[in-house]
Amino acid sequence: MSGGGADATSAHLPVMFAEVMDGLAVKQDGIYLDGTFGRGGHARGILQRLGPKGRLLVMDKDPEAIAVATRMAAADVRLQWRRGSFAGLAEWAGADGLDGVLLDLGVSSPQLDVAERGFSFAKDGPLDMRMDPDSGESAADWLQRASEKEIADVLWRYGEERQSRRIARAIVAQREEAPLRRTAQLASLIASVLPRGASKTHPATRSFQAIRIHINRELADLESGLDAALARLKPEGRLAVISFHSLEDRIVKQFMARHAKAPPANRRMPVQVAFTPVLALIGGAQKAGEAELAANPRARSAVLRVASKLPVAGPGVAA
């Protein structure tokens, strides 16, 4: 897979495509926002279901994703794009009164496949990991300046890495000799300090995930993006979110539950506070089916959650 060029439109298989289209229930004249355009797999599906008056706004932090969106927009006036984080979607003036928002979180296959992006422990490249390589700090720069405790905390919090302190200690010892600049260097350093278990996954898997989440502020962006999406959705507008690990899914699940269900009464708060739901959950957590899993292993960890915005002060009737 090339993935690096703007022509790599087929290098990312959209995950849970049919379920996402069902969840968004695209209206012909609706306005939709895809906050994670990637290579436009889901965006193409939305465009196919929109009529001539419908609109699709797409965002991505990644310049290569935006290059694909720019070309698609040149051929389809219904499509508009903006480079940036979906955390700031509410600042896009056109993104008012949305009929649906899709967030397909994490990294795309082209980002993982191109060694130069530095996301992959399996391919040697510069230790970068930024979705937007023009802003923020690369993984190499962060690992060079962060304290041992900060590194250990990130590995523990975002990677649930039980050997976080050991790995952080090894990173700090290594950088005193020479800076860590390559993904293969970091991957083999982690492999050298972790006891070999029976697990088939590479010992650096959890640490790479943790550093990537930290460098791209993924969980903070998700929290802001969910609030912004809810604020911009019209009544009956749909919110569909695909997450790829438990930290993301917990945020999505709790966000939807907080806006859909009254908090349970408890002993410390025996008087039930008035609660008006603003979201109705559409089904529960959905997983990819067998056929998709066979064709696309990336779908294995995907969890889709969908909710619909309720009319203001309306009763919490699930659709």
Ligand X SMILES: C[S@@+](CC[C@H](N)C(=O)[O-])C[C@H]1O[C@@H](n2cnc3c(N)ncnc32)[C@H](O)[C@@H]1O
Minimum CB distance to ligand X, residue 269 (Å): 34
Segment near ligand X (CB under 6 A), from 81-89, 122-130, 150-158, 187-195? 81-89
Minimum CB distance to ligand X, residue 295 (Å): 14
Contacts of 302 (CB under 8 A, 6+ apart): 15, 16, 242, 243, 244, 287, 288
- CA 57 from centroid of its chain's CA atoms: 17
Q: Give the residue from 187, 241, 186, 190 showing the smallest Cα distance to 219.
A: 241
Instruction: Specify whether the CB–CB gap between 103 and 36 falls below 8 A.
Output: yes
Segment near ligand X (CB under 6 A), from 31-39, 167-175, 232-240, 299-307? 31-39
The number of residues that bind ligand X (CB under 6 A) is 23
How far apart (Å, rounded) are the C-alpha atoms in residues 275 and 257? Answer: 12
**Near ligand X by CB under 6 A: residue from 25, 42, 117, 181:** 42
Instruction: Specify whether the CB–CB gap between 60 and 36 falls below 8 A.
Output: yes
Segment near ligand X (CB under 6 A), from 54-62, 135-143, 250-258, 280-288? 54-62
Q: Does 85 bind ligand X (CB under 6 A)?
A: yes
- The residues in 261-300 that bind ligand X, with binding defined as CB under 6 A, are none
Q: Which residue is nearest to ligand X (CB)?
A: 38
How far apart (Å, rounded) are the C-alpha atoms in residues 188 and 192? Answer: 6
Residue number, 108 or 183, with CB nearest to ligand X = 108
Segment near ligand X (CB under 6 A), from 38-46, 155-163, 179-187, 190-198? 38-46
Q: Does 253 bind ligand X (CB under 6 A)?
A: no
Instruction: Specify whether the CB–CB gap between 85 and 62 falls below 8 A.
Output: no
Residue number, 38 or 118, with CB nearest to ligand X = 38
**Near ligand X by CB under 6 A: residue from 57, 72, 131, 281:** 131
Classified as helix, coil or strand, 238 is strand
Taken as a whole, the chain contains a residue count of 319
Minimum CB distance to ligand X, residue 51 (Å): 22
Residue number, 62 or 128, with CB nearest to ligand X = 62
- The residues in 190-229 that bind ligand X, with binding defined as CB under 6 A, are 221
Residue number, 299 or 307, with CB nearest to ligand X = 299
Residue with tokens 């994490």: 106
**Near ligand X by CB under 6 A: residue from 8, 31, 50, 59:** 59
Q: Give the residue from 90, 91, 102 showing the smallest Cα distance to 32.
A: 102
Residue number, 12 or 309, with CB nearest to ligand X = 12
Q: Does 106 bind ligand X (CB under 6 A)?
A: yes
Q: Does 248 bind ligand X (CB under 6 A)?
A: no
Buried b (16+ CB within 10 A) or exposed e, 241-257: bbbbbebbbebbbebbe
Q: First vs last Cα of the chain: how many Å apart?
A: 41
Segment near ligand X (CB under 6 A), from 37-45, 141-149, 173-181, 311-319? 37-45
Q: Give the residue from 68, 71, 46, 41 showing the smallest Cα distance to 57.
A: 46
Residue 31 burial (C-beta neighbours within 10 Å; 0-12, 13-18, 19+): buried
**Near ligand X by CB under 6 A: residue from 61, 82, 232, 253:** 61
Contacts of 212 (CB under 8 A, 6+ apart): 107, 119, 129, 139, 218
Tokens found for residue 223: 């929290």
**Near ligand X by CB under 6 A: residue from 32, 81, 86, 255:** 86
Amino acid at the residue 146? A
Tell me which residues touch ligand X (CB under 6 A). Answer: 12, 14, 35-36, 38-42, 59-62, 65, 85-87, 104, 106-108, 131, 221
